[in-house]
Every structure is written in structure tokens, then in C-alpha cells.
Amino acid sequence: MVQLSNRLWKTKPLDCWQKVKELRLNHYKEVATAKQDGKLLVSGSATWGMTVPAGLGDHVFLSGEPYGASIGFDPQFAQECAEASEAHGLARDLCAYMRNYWGSMYLDKYLWGGPFPKPDFYLTYHMCDSHAKWYQIASEHTGAPLFAIDWPVGAYGENREARIKYVAEQTWDAIEWMEKVTGRTYDDEKFIEAIHNECEGIQYFSEALAMNVAVPAPLDQKSQLTLYTPAVLCKQTKEARDFYKLLRDEVKDRVDNQIAALATERFRIWHDNIPPWFFLRLFHNMEQFGAACVGSFYLLIFAQFNLAEDGKQWVPARTPKQLGIDLKDRESAVNFYSRWVIDNPGMDMFHLAQTKIDHLINLIHQFHCGAMVMHLNRGCEGHAQYQLEFRLGVQKAGIPVLTYEGNMADKREFDESQTIDRLEAFMESLGLQKLAM
């Protein structure tokens, strides 16, 4: 068990905090006004779909998952959306993000005011069972055309070249399809610029997350859940790239000067699965015991890491420029970007249980955590897959695990009092006591 000293660390708010809040709000405003501003509006999964359309010129991307999460942060509207989806015959045990997105669409009600924005087309990556139907149903409702890039089955490094080729061939098809449905000519230089923006910005973000191995941790989990939003909304833009450089530099300064996210940090927690967005005070409850939640597998998916040669340490992926790769034309750009998409161990949660168990144990050790708190999340089939096996595997490695039940974006399936009681009992079992605040 990792027990830290009882010293009081220096702390201060993040200087770039307001900037990320502005980026997020401005993005959702751009979604609402995209068409009147002469921009294409595209919608799809918050993975890699927002970068490929860059070759068409100005576009704004409505990412389904973060939009569903934002709705989840507003429990009243989330319930309206869930009920609207259920009224259309859609099952309650489907992805909560998806049901919130559909409900907002069916209600024709946008979270930030006005009607639900109708995209010009949908472009998505199908990397879980929900995505296979999410935008098909949206396309049928709005009449906007859909193109889906199928995610190739396989863990990190497994059948790598065949999987890269599979994604690359579909990306070529997607580009030709987008030209046909929009009537625009695809500009390879704009696509290449967007790839560089994404790779550089996401590397800065990954470096910032990786620096959370420091003691004390410069970032807390609750803040990271806001800081990751440009990575899932607009990572292909210069604005996102510049923000993440600002964040990386600030986090480095905090590490160099031992500036903590939690002044009373004396124990470190790893979190597994998507948190309940309407109950992020869960992390504050941990902090009352001097426990800093320093990371989660969920966030690493939207950064970009590779495994080091030992197969254990997670290290930020390198950009094309760092690798000496010249993206000089469409072929080189598509080939590199397909590699970038595939080379992400964060996607291993969709494969064999033991693979993710190994990742969890390695990450818990890498970030100097003494325990894991796991959300048994009924709102996401992909993240919930094998979870009790993950729990057993981590426990067998001698790491204490707390589970709590709920749903990331549907408050009807969450018991706040029970969760707090379980969390506080778990903290006490670790030898931690609630601190005088």
C-alpha cells in the first residue's frame, strides 16, 4: 500500500483553467451557428472523426459522447432525453450517452439553447457495439447521410499492419464519399495540417497526464475531466493544440515547484470507468481523506500513449515530425493517420480481460497509487465489459478495490447516499481518516 507523508503541499488553481472553459463553450456555440457561418456541421464519435473532414475546409464537429456527457451533467434535461429515447422504443440499458444524444435530437432541443443542430453528414468510427447503431438511427431521423469506419478487432500490437491497412482503405473511401455528398474538393494540405495539430496537441496533453506520476500530483481527476474536452471536441484545430501546449508547460512548472492539486495529498487512488457526471463530488469525498485521484483508464483513451519496450510503462506517442515522417501527400497522410488511430493501448479495454488487467496493474504502479475505485457503470457496455474480472485481477495483485454501482449519465440509476457510505468505509479500511477542513 502506498502511504505518503502528512505534509501540507503548496497548491494553487490552474492558470489555464478559464481558457479550457472558454474553448468548450465557444465550440458548442460554433456547433449551433455552423451553418449560418457557412461551415459544414459533422457529427459522430469523439475518437478520430473530427480530423478527417478537415480536408473539406471549415467544419465543426459535434462529438456524440461529450455531448451526451454534458447532458448528463444536467440531470433534469438528461431525464427528459432518456425518456424521449425510451418513448421511441429504445431500451434503457443502452449507452447513456447515446440515449441522451438521441433524446436531445427527438426533442429538437439543444443543451445550450435552440433546436438540435442537424449535421450535413455523419462520420464515425465504430469501436464499440453502440456506435454501430448510434448514428444510423440519427441518420434515419435527420436524413443526413452516414459513413462509418469499422474498428478492426485486435489488441495493441496484434495484427498491427493488417489493421492499419484496414483503417487506411476505409479512410480513402470516406474521403471520396465526403466529396460526393458535399460537392467539395478535398484539400490534402488542410488534412495534413489538421493531423499535425492533433498529433502535437494530443502529445502535449499526454505529456501533461504522464507528469501526474509526480508526488504530489499536479492535476486532480475532476480537473482532468474538464481539461480533456478539447481532445474530444476539436483536437484538429490550432486552438486546441495551443491550449494543450499551455497546459503541458504549466503542469511541468507545477511539478518542478511541487505545486499540488490537493494540498493534503497523502494517498493516491486510480479510478476505473467513466464517472457519474452528475456526481463529480465523488472525487471531493476522496480528497476529504487526503486521497488524491490521479488518473483513469477512460482519460488515457483520448490522449495518445504507446507502451515502452518493457510493455508496462505508458509513454506519450511521438508526432510525425519527431518520427521523421514527411506527410507530403494524401497517401502518406492517410497511412500515418491510420497508424496513429491503431497504435493506442487505451482501446484494449474492448478485448481480452487479462490484457486490461495487466494495463490496470501497470498504471496503478506507474502512478504510485495504493488502491482503485471502480464504477460499475451500467451506462456503457464497452467499459463495463469484464469489470468484475478486472476487479479480481487487480485484487490478486494485492491492490484494494472499491466498486460502486451507477450510470455515467442517468441519475435514475445512482444512489448517492450508498455510494458515499461505501466510499467512506473504504477510505477508513485503508487507514485514512477524514481530515479537518
Reported as a single tens digit per residue, the pLDDT across 87-110 is 999 999 999 999 999 999 999 999
pLDDT band at 154 (very low <50, low <70, confident <90, very high): confident
pLDDT, mean over the chain:
95
| pLDDT attached to residue 63 | 96
Among candidate residues 339, 47, 344, 305, the one with its CA nearest the CA of residue 168 = 339
| pLDDT attached to residue 64 | 96
Task: Dump pLDDT digits (tens) for 383-417.
Answer: 888 999 999 999 999 999 999 999 999 999 999 99
pTM metric for this prediction: 0.96
| pLDDT attached to residue 1 | 46
pLDDT band at 437 (very low <50, low <70, confident <90, very high): low
Instruction: Please tell me the least confidently modeled range out of 48-52, 142-146, 367-371.
Output: 48-52
| pLDDT attached to residue 369 | 98
